[in-house]
Amino acid sequence: MDGRNDVDVARPGAGVVGFTSEMTPELLTQVLAGGTLTTPLALTIMLAGPLFVVMGALMRGQILLQWGYTLLAALPAMPLLAFGVAYVNARRKSASEIIVPLEVRADAEGLTLRVGEDTRVAPWSAFQRWRRMMGTHLLYTGLRTFMVLRTDGLDAEQRATFEGLLRANIPSGPRR
């Protein structure tokens, strides 16, 4: 791979795509915070205030209204906390491994990942599900562990080829 985004044109429909994934701390912060804010726990916490207010108003329950107003007042804290934690995590020394340019080649066997002279192969069986978020693809290896690949530079054909490989090889498709 020479660092350019390319699709294997030697064989039409070959299902091979190569690209460079170059993450930035800013994009990593957004992805980490977005992932946190879309978890069931975070959504439940953020929806509790409005739910208590509606229930209190319908049932004329003062205690429910008080809880609802309290939780509504705390509602802005959840995104601020998520972005704060994501900001710190994206700038930690250990995150520097994620931010280096990564050469990616996806084919029917899996992903070939190259950083400098180091090359690793990740078979599709290593991934449980995948998700598209903010110009990236998250390939989950566990419940909350994932590989993040920046894919906003792919053209429509490359994205279709890449997502076709994901759909064909990772049993559980995107969680939205």
Polymer length in residues for the chain: 176
Q: Distance between CA 87 and CA 29 in Å, rounded? A: 5
Residue range 28-48: mean pLDDT, rounded: 86
Task: Tell me the percentage of the chain whose pLDDT exceeds 70.
Answer: 90
Rounded to the nearest 10 degrees, what angle do helices 40-59 and 77-90 cross at?
170
Average confidence score pLDDT of the chain: 84
CB 33 within 8 A of CB 83: yes
* Range with lowest mean pLDDT among 7-21, 23-37, 56-70, 136-150: 7-21
Reply yes or no on whether the pLDDT at 11 is more than 70: no
Kindly report the pTM of this predicted structure. Answer: 0.72
pLDDT single digits (tens) 116-169: 889 999 999 999 999 888 889 989 998 878 888 999 989 999 999 999 999 999
Tell me how crowded residue 23 is: count the other CB atoms within 10 A of its CB: 19
> Above 50 in pLDDT, residue 12?
no
Q: Give the per-residue pLDDT at 14.
A: 55
Q: How confident is the model at residue 13 (pLDDT cuts 50, 70, 90)?
A: very low
Flag whether pLDDT at 4 surpasses 60: no
Of the two residues 4 and 96, the one the predictor is more confident about is 96
Read off the pLDDT of residues 99-116 as tens digits, 9 standing for 90 and up: 788 899 999 999 999 988
